[in-house]
Structure 1
Amino acid sequence: MPQLNTMPWPMIITTMIMTLFIVMQVKISKYSYPNSLTPKPINKTTQHAPWKTKWTKIYLPPLLPPQ
């Protein structure tokens, strides 16, 4: 059974890591960041949830008849 040649593996792995790094740098560099870094004011609005004011009845499971 022939043995697997593992000599080029370190070169392939380093090339792959470098390629991934370059691709990620290109993707990040295309992102445009905002010029002003001041935080925007947050308007707190309370949303009306219908289940908060609505009364719901919780039913118990039916009891089994005695055996």
Structure 2
Amino acid sequence: MPQLDTSTWFITILSMLLSLFILMQTKISSFNYFPLPTPKLLASKKPENPWNSKWTKIYLPLSLPQH
């Protein structure tokens, strides 16, 4: 029964790993990544309520001036 020749296995496996590494590196380097999201600076706008357009003041009984 003939013996299995394993003398070329090392170079075959090594070249396979090297080619897979190069292939993955080219795939990753050609991938388009989205830029990191940056927070938008929003101007805080007060909500327009109908009661904001008029000057109103509520007088509480305890806040009235003392006589």
> What's the TM-score, normalizing by structure 1?
0.51
**Counterparts of residues 10-49 of structure 1 (less than 5 Å):** 10-35=10-35, 37-38=36-37
Instruction: List, as ranges, runs of 4+ consecutive aligned residues in structure 1 with deviation greater than 2 Å.
Output: 38-41
Identity of matched residues, %: 45
Q: Which runs of 5+ in 2 are unaligned?
A: 41-67
Q: What TM-score does the superposition give when structure 2 sets the normalisation length?
A: 0.51
Q: CA RMSD in A?
A: 2.0
CA distance in 2, matches of 1:2, 1:24: 38
- Flag structure 1 segments of 5+ consecutive residues without an equivalent: 42-67
Question: Aligned residue pairs: how many?
Answer: 40
